[in-house]
């Protein structure tokens, strides 16, 4: 039993860490103030989804890095905002609810509590008074509120920002929509002020919906009738659902969409002013996919079969190569375009319809994955070339995607490989419009060396000139114009799920109405079952109390609705005539997607308990934006793009002062697990790894907790793991069973998960924090190996012994020696440089070197040991606090000023020069640093080893770089 004395003298991390974690909580040490004379610093982590599996050692990596930075900034005199919260809406909780009937709110609460316990044990300096949870009605009230703001806005291209929909109505009333330059639906038709005034209220709402930044639209989704739900592309494998293997069909559904495409150019431009990793910026750039070119309209030539009175058709295409327009030998349409049915001739109808049916069966992903197979069908129709007036056959082909551009291309086989392959396959002519280029084998797509030929008025021109000239000609003809196209599509914002934010929306006459801010939040209703309804409605269709009473402004029971009608597809419609509804209307049944709650949480942290506003202007004006954001790169084109979009929208509305929410972003790398394998032969025996050569064995994952640092298996533990292993035979080598090891993603199913709890228990949080950083560069992925933690744990013990030994406190008031000061200041310098570059692994080594040197120097001087404790504090805060109090200080070390580096302690008078011969280092010699080049050369030449190296030769050249190196050539 340890005496009081040994607890005092030994590094008892368990007691120390518990003590300081309690101190920080009791004293609210890390509470950030919204009023401060100090400069602000906002250090943010991507908040986690609280899964049932808890944290493994990979999760805290980024949190430790940002915590070190946050603590460092406090030492540097900043008012630091370092919050944490939970992205607590999501599918796993809902799945669990479906299986067990347990309410997702309960499992979510349980998981959050477990996360909190695990996070607390690691000693983070989070300001927990600012915690947010996306599934908390007090939080999602503001998610709903932002949605309403988006609904009430439209995008004005002339001012290049979002503006109030009310202002748009004023314009409509005065002059219709013809003078408006807005981002809106493609099918928006022109109307005058007079037309507008003549529209019914419903017609007006329909028109406005085409302009709103969030709007209802028919979207194609992957519908799985058996599961009664919509699936994401990656939930579909080989055309059937991943869960259950049910068939999936493409289906059009009315869903909320976000007009993010309005911000495409600004999202692109904004990348230039933020310090984010280049790969992440690249992937956003590719995702937005800007391409410059022209839109060209082709007239479809009337066919004899055309029904009388049918309007003439036009096909609009986008092309990046309008200069090659004289090389067009056919056009290709996406099979799903409605236009296809309208232009197909009777003779071609069977072939075309068969083809459309065949492509509908393939998922979008299948179609995209299969690049090699060329398929298509001729419609029998022809388009007219805008200049040559020649007829151009119109084909359909699944290599043209309905969702990109207009879903139609002008095919130039000599200039585009896909068009070339298509033309070859179907024996379509391939006219050559390039000067001096052979296209008998493949298409020619190099813009830089293009000289146009065989193209009427474009002959002899290069790509740039031809493009300019053809766009002018198209404009003169009224059949085209220069255009910039973006790949970025509007984002679907509806999910047929239960565990998400409800929309603050009810429907009158099928038109969506927003609920006033006063009555928010609209809380998730209770449901019996979390599955879709029998009629195929989303889970909220099961709610019995889910209607909006506009008289009393509250959610009421569905009985208050007079009737609910369903159409053939099972969709609920509010076909209640205005007499019968008595002011009660059906509420939206969809919920918001996972990214809704995470798109503005960083701003909410600034003023998380504000009930009147999303945040006060005072708070946002003080905190401004995120100074450092750390998180995984997997969010590159999801969360990080949507958040930037919402931020720009909020900026347009004057709600936030910055149009980019995070100045600096770092992607932490993944920590991989080192899986362990045992090898079972056909007889069921387990054979030690090195005896498996030439044997037929199957590797089986063994839990890594059964394996020691020497890869030896704890056979008893393994036998007790599973009943089927109870009586297994083990064939040993040298009396041991050795496992095989392999680096894989850390995952429960691979039994290679290491939990931070057991590490904290055995070695302490400070050891864990240091080790996670010591593993390697923050941004790289690296394998976890628990055995190595003895390195950082040993360092902490060594650090402790610098201050305390068996006789108690060691430190003295003795003046520091020159060596002591040199060691200290070398460390300050290196650590500050490392933190500035987020190179935390090298600063841990630097601490080790520092402590090794001070131990050798037998340093006991408080003048060294006090600043050292502060230096270490961001990395290993518990031990630093304890040492600080042992040094006689009261209160926390957290805001004590960081030691100041003084160059004077590092000034050297001499240098041990490496002396190289023909670039190879042979020996070293100590020389004064102020020695002139000539004197150095003379000294080196006089050295006996130089003569031995030269063996009588005369050097051709002697290179002296003062303070660096000497190289003798010859």
Partner RNA sequence: GCUCGAGUGGUGGAAUUGGUAGACACGUUGGACUUAAAAUCCAAUGGACAUUAGUCCGUAUGGGUUCAAGUCCCAUCUCGAGUACCA
Using CB under 7 A, which residues numbered 399 to 458 contact RNA? Answer: 399-401, 404-405, 407, 409-410, 416, 418
Q: Are strands 480-486 and 290-301 parallel, antiparallel or unpaired?
A: antiparallel
Which residues fall within 8 angstroms of residue 696, CB to CB, at 6 or more apart?
681, 682
Report CA torsion sign: 703, 706, 712, 715: negative
Whose CA is closest to 44, among 123, 132, 138?
Answer: 132
Question: CA-to-CA distance for 466 and 451, rounded, in angstroms?
Answer: 9
C-beta of residue 456 within 8 angstroms of C-beta of residue 386:
no
Q: How many residues in the shown chain lie near RNA by CB under 7 A?
A: 85
Taking the complex as a whole, the smallest distance from the CB of residue 582 to RNA amounts, in Å, to: 48
Q: Which of residues 796-815 bind RNA (CB under 7 A)?
A: 797-798
Is residue 7 near RNA by the rule CB under 7 A?
no
Q: Which of residues 664-723 bind RNA (CB under 7 A)?
A: 709-710
Piece in contact with RNA (CB under 7 A), picked from 135-143, 614-622, 731-739, 793-801? 793-801
Is residue 54 near RNA by the rule CB under 7 A?
no
Nearer to RNA, 319 or 574 (CB): 319
Is residue 775 near RNA by the rule CB under 7 A?
yes
Q: Which of residues 841-880 bind RNA (CB under 7 A)?
A: 841-842, 844-845, 848-849, 852
User: Reduced to 3 states, what is the DSSP secondary structure of residue 717?
Assistant: helix
Is residue 370 near RNA by the rule CB under 7 A?
yes
Among 38, 76, 250, 487, binds RNA (CB under 7 A): 487
Among 787, 814, 836, 938, binds RNA (CB under 7 A): 787
Piece in contact with RNA (CB under 7 A), picked from 44-52, 501-509, 713-721, 910-918? 910-918
Piece in contact with RNA (CB under 7 A), picked from 63-71, 865-873, 902-910, 962-970? 962-970
C-beta of residue 528 within 8 angstroms of C-beta of residue 563:
no
Taking the complex as a whole, the smallest distance from the CB of residue 935 to RNA amounts, in Å, to: 19
Nearer to RNA, 246 or 741 (CB): 741
Nearer to RNA, 756 or 955 (CB): 955
Angle between helices 765-774 and 104-122 (to 10 degrees): 90
Query: Both tokens of residue 470?
Result: 């053809």
Among 33, 357, 634, 805, binds RNA (CB under 7 A): 634
Nearer to RNA, 410 or 876 (CB): 410
C-beta of residue 297 within 8 angstroms of C-beta of residue 219:
no
Nearer to RNA, 51 or 781 (CB): 781
Piece in contact with RNA (CB under 7 A), picked from 193-201, 308-316, 622-630, 840-848? 840-848
| Start-end of H helices in 687-764 | 715-721, 756-762
C-beta of residue 632 within 8 angstroms of C-beta of residue 668:
yes
Nearer to RNA, 135 or 846 (CB): 846
Is residue 957 near RNA by the rule CB under 7 A?
yes
Q: Which residue shows structure tokens 């340890």? A: 2
Among 622, 916, 939, 950, binds RNA (CB under 7 A): 916
Taking the complex as a whole, the smallest distance from the CB of residue 951 to RNA amounts, in Å, to: 10
Nearer to RNA, 266 or 418 (CB): 418
Mask for 315-354, x = binds RNA (CB under 7 A): --xxxxx------------x--------------------
Taking the complex as a whole, the smallest distance from the CB of residue 429 to RNA amounts, in Å, to: 18
Query: Both tokens of residue 308?
Result: 């009388």
Taking the complex as a whole, the smallest distance from the CB of residue 261 to RNA amounts, in Å, to: 12
Among 204, 367, 385, 468, binds RNA (CB under 7 A): 367
Taking the complex as a whole, the smallest distance from the CB of residue 593 to RNA amounts, in Å, to: 16
Taking the complex as a whole, the smallest distance from the CB of residue 359 to RNA amounts, in Å, to: 9
Is residue 278 near RNA by the rule CB under 7 A?
yes
Distances (CA, A) of 923 to 496, 942, 949: 74, 14, 10
Piece in contact with RNA (CB under 7 A), picked from 88-96, 781-789, 875-883, 888-896? 781-789
Strands (E), 16-160: 40-45, 79-81, 153-156
Nearer to RNA, 9 or 619 (CB): 9
Piece in contact with RNA (CB under 7 A), picked from 151-159, 178-186, 691-699, 920-928? 920-928
Which residues fall within 8 angstroms of residue 367, CB to CB, at 6 or more apart?
359, 398
Q: Which three-class secondary structure string do you get for 413-441?
A: CCCCHHHHHHHHHHCCCCCCCECCCCCCC
- 785, with CB counted inside 10 A (0-12, 13-18, 19+), is middle
Question: CA-to-CA distance for 328 and 174, rounded, in angstroms?
Answer: 45
Q: Are strands 153-156 and 182-183 parallel, antiparallel or unpaired?
A: antiparallel
* C-beta atoms surrounding 888 within 10 Å: 10
Among 7, 53, 198, 368, binds RNA (CB under 7 A): 368
User: Containing H/E element for 74?
Assistant: helix 60-75
Question: CA-to-CA distance for 365 and 234, rounded, in angstroms?
Answer: 9
Nearer to RNA, 685 or 839 (CB): 839
Question: CA-to-CA distance for 113 and 119, rounded, in angstroms?
Answer: 10
Nearer to RNA, 133 or 793 (CB): 793
Piece in contact with RNA (CB under 7 A), picked from 116-124, 277-285, 541-549, 732-740? 277-285
Taking the complex as a whole, the smallest distance from the CB of residue 506 to RNA amounts, in Å, to: 35
Nearer to RNA, 59 or 911 (CB): 911
Which residues fall within 8 angstroms of residue 383, CB to CB, at 6 or more apart?
298, 299, 300, 301, 315, 331, 391, 392, 394
User: Containing H/E element for 958?
Assistant: strand 957-961
Mask for 208-247, x = binds RNA (CB under 7 A): ----------------------------------------
Query: Both tokens of residue 388?
Result: 């040559």
Radius of gyration of the chain (CA): 35
* C-beta atoms surrounding 377 within 10 Å: 23
Is residue 914 near RNA by the rule CB under 7 A?
yes
Mask for 279-298, x = binds RNA (CB under 7 A): x--xx--xx-x-x-x-----
Mask for 816-835, x = binds RNA (CB under 7 A): -----------------x--
Taking the complex as a whole, the smallest distance from the CB of residue 874 to RNA amounts, in Å, to: 18
Whose CA is closest to 355, among 369, 334, 339, 371?
Answer: 334
Query: Both tokens of residue 4?
Result: 């009081």
Taking the complex as a whole, the smallest distance from the CB of residue 459 to RNA amounts, in Å, to: 21
Taking the complex as a whole, the smallest distance from the CB of residue 709 to RNA amounts, in Å, to: 5
Is residue 747 near RNA by the rule CB under 7 A?
no
Phi then psi dihedrals of residue 719, to 5 deg: -60, -40
Mask for 553-582, x = binds RNA (CB under 7 A): ------------------------------
Taking the complex as a whole, the smallest distance from the CB of residue 423 to RNA amounts, in Å, to: 13
Is residue 110 near RNA by the rule CB under 7 A?
no
User: What does the angle CA 354 – CA 252 – CA 359 come to, to the nearest 5 degrees?
Assistant: 25
Taking the complex as a whole, the smallest distance from the CB of residue 762 to RNA amounts, in Å, to: 12
DSSP letters spanning 765-800:
HHHHHHHHHHTS-TTS-EE--GGGHHHHHHHHHHHH
């Amino acid at each position: 039993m340890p005496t009081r004395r040994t607890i005092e003298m030994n590094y008892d991390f368990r007691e120390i860490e518990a003590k300081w974690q309690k101190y920080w909580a009791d004293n609210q040490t890390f509470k950030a103030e919204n009023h401060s004379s100090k400069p602000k610093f906002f250090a943010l982590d991507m908040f986690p989804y609280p899964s049932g599996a808890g944290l493994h050692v990979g999760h805290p990596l980024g949190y430790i890095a940002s915590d070190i930075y946050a603590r460092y900034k406090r030492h540097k005199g900043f008012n630091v905002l370092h919050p944490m919260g939970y992205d607590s809406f999501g599918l796993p909780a809902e799945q669990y609810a479906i299986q067990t009937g347990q309410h997702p709110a309960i499992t979510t609460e349980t998981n959050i509590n477990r996360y909190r316990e695990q996070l607390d044990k690691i000693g983070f300096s989070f300001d927990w008074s600012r915690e947010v949870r996306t599934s908390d009605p007090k939080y999602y009230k503001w998610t709903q509120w932002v949605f309403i703001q988006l609904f009430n806005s439209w995008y004005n291209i002339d001012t290049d920002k979002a503006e109030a929909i009310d202002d748009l109505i004023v314009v409509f009333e005065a002059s219709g929509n013809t003078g408006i330059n807005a981002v809106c639906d493609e099918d928006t038709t022109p109307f005058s002020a007079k037309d507008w005034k003549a529209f019914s209220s419903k017609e007006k709402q329909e028109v406005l919906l085409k302009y709103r930044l969030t709007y209802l639209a028919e979207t194609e989704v992957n519908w799985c009738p058996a599961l009664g739900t919509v699936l994401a592309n990656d939930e579909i494998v080989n055309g059937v659902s991943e869960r259950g293997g049910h068939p999936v069909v493409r289906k059009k559904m009315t869903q909320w969409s976000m007009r993010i495409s309005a911000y495409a150019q600004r999202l692109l431009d904004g990348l230039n002013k933020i310090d984010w990793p280049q790969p992440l910026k690249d992937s956003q750039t590719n995702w937005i996919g800007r391409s410059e070119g022209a839109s060209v309209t082709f007239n479809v030539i009337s066919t004899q079969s055309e029904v009388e009175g049918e309007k003439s058709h036009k096909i609009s295409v986008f092309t990046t190569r309008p200069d090659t327009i004289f090389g067009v030998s056919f056009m290709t349409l996406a099979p799903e375009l409605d236009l296809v049915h309208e232009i197909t001739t009777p003779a071609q109808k069977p072939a075309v319809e068969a083809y459309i049916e065949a492509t509908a069966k393939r998922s979008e992903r299948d179609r995209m994955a299969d690049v090699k197979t060329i398929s298509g069908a001729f419609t029998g129709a022809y388009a007219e070339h805008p200049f040559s007036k020649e007829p151009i056959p119109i084909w359909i082909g699944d290599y043209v995607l309905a969702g990109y551009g207009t879903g139609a291309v002008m095919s130039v086989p000599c200039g585009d490989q896909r068009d070339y392959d298509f033309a070859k396959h179907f024996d379509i002519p391939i006219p050559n419009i390039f000067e001096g280029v052979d296209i008998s084998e493949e298409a020619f797509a190099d813009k830089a060396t293009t000289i146009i030929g065989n193209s009427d008025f474009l002959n002899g021109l290069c790509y740039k000139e031809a493009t300019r000239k053809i766009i002018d000609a198209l404009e003169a003809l009224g059949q085209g114009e220069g255009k910039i196209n973006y790949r970025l599509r509007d984002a679907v914002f509806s999910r047929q799920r239960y565990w998400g934010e409800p929309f603050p929306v009810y429907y009158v006459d099928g038109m969506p109405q927003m609920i006033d801010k006063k009555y928010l939040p609209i809380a998730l209703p209770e449901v019996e079952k979390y599955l879709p309804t029998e009629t195929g409605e989303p889970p909220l269709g099961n709610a019995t109390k889910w209607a909006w009473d506009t008289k009393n402004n509250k959610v009421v029971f569905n009985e208050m609705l007079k009737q609910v009608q369903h159409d053939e597809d099972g969709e609920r419609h509010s076909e209640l005539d205005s007499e019968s509804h008595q002011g009660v209307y059906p509420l939206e049944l969809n919920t918001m997607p996972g990214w809704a709650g995470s798109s503005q949480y960083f701003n909410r942290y600034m003023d998380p308990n504000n009930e009147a506003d999303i945040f006060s202007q005072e708070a946002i004006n003080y905190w401004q934006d995120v100074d450092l954001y750390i998180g995984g790169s997997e969010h590159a084109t999801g969360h990080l793009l949507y958040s930037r979009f919402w931020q720009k929208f909020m900026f347009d509305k004057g709600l936030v002062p910055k149009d980019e929410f995070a100045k600096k972003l770092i992607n932490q790398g993944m920590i991989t697990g080192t899986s362990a394998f045992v090898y079972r032969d056909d007889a069921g025996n387990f054979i030690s790894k090195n005896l498996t050569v030439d044997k037929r064995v199957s590797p089986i994952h063994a839990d890594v907790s059964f394996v020691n640092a020497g890869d030896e298996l704890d056979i008893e533990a393994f036998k007790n793991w599973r009943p089927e292993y109870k009586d297994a035979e083990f064939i040993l080598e040298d009396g041991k069973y050795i496992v095989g090891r392999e680096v894989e993603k850390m995952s429960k199913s691979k039994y290679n998960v290491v939990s931070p709890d057991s590490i904290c228990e055995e070695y302490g949080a400070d050891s864990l924090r240091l080790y996670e950083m010591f593993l390697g560069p923050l941004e790289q992925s690296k394998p976890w190996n628990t055995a190595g933690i003895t390195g950082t744990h040993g360092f902490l013990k060594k650090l402790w012994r610098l201050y305390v030994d068996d006789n108690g406190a060691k430190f003295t008031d003795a003046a520091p020696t020159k060596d002591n000061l040199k060691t200290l200041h070398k460390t300050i310098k290196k650590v500050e440089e490392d933190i500035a570059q987020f190179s935390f692994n090298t600063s841990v080594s630097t601490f080790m070197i520092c402590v090794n040197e001070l131990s050798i120097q037998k340093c006991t001087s408080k003048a060294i040991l006090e600043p050292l404790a502060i230096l270490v504090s961001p990395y290993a805060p518990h031990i630093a606090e304890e040492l600080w109090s042992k040094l006689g200080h009261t209160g926390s070390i957290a805001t004590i000023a960081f030691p100041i580096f003084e160059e004077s302690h590092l000034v050297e008078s001499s240098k041990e020069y490496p002396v190289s011969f023909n670039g190879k280092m042979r020996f070293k010699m100590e020389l004064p640093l102020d020695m002139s080049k000539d004197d150095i050369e003379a000294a080196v030449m006089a050295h006996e080893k130089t003569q031995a190296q030269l063996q009588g030769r005369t050097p051709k050249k002697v290179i002296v770089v003062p303070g660096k190196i000497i190289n003798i050539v010859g």
